[in-house]
Amino acid sequence: MNAPSKIPLEQLKRSRIGVLMGGLSSEREVSLRTGAAVAKALREGGYTVVELDVGKDVATRLTAEKIDVAFIALHGRYGEDGSIQGLLESLFIPYTGSGVLASAVGMEKVFTKQVFVAHGLPTPPSKAYATAAQALASPPDFPLPWVVKPSREGSSVGIHICKTKDAYAPAVEDAAKYAGLILVEQFIKGREVQGAVLDDEALGVIEIVPAREFYDYQAKYGAGSGTQYLFPAPIPPEAYEKVNQVCLAAHRALGCSGASRSDVILAPDGQVYLLELNTLPGMTATSLLPKIAQGRGISFLNLCERLLEGASLKS
């Protein structure tokens, strides 16, 4: 795959960089933290930064602020799902990250899994439902435990692990409160690892050791959560390379640009299972992409610059 042309840093330093943050999704608070970290780093690097808390007037504000390049620091609906990407395409403002189609598919977990399956990538068995009533009337036929999740939320919002059938109905009802389909997936016991891709190259694999049962919202963002991050992941070399290869293959299968981060389970038998792919990885103090980049000798500012250099129109 040919790498897209880069915007020279000298040109970017003469540009007005709009850091798009906040937004209207359930992940607003996380996005504000991502945006603040990015804006601070870029300012310290000598860039002209305009922080934009994205609302319904975002098109007017982008034009009024004369934004030359958009750094998308949004998470969740309207930011990660192709919506803001389509607007930026229409305004002819180059932006960081993936384009409209890759963003839309990556945000919809059901479609993401269909792409994984079509490309022969390993992913746990799953079943999708349009409504809670359908999910309750026809539960999955694969063994418990089951993971119930809303198909269009990130940051582990609305996710439940059901060890018994009694836990299934409350989990489904909760997942149904959020947008999109309801995805029920077979729970795979194993080590939680994540692989990052930057500029169409595998960046590395980090292991997450949550103090809680799984890497949920509290484990990700809660103060003093006790979660440990081990980079490089202390797994056998052949498994490390397999995770790298699978994450890069997922990035390419969805047609991603810039950076992506994939959630993977490494089973005791050495098999890897792709859970989902994040087209706009977080950039907070506890986020995994910056931790992996730092482990590879890439500073936070340099990471932001590499993402900025790759800003483009994709349509």
* Residue numbers annotated as active site: 27, 155, 221, 261, 263, 276, 278, 282
Q: Are strands 228-230 and 201-209 parallel, antiparallel or unpaired?
A: antiparallel
Buried/exposed 145-161: b ≥16 CB within 10 Å, e otherwise: ebbbbbbbbbbbbbbbb
Residue 194: which of 242, 265, 249 has the closest Cα?
265
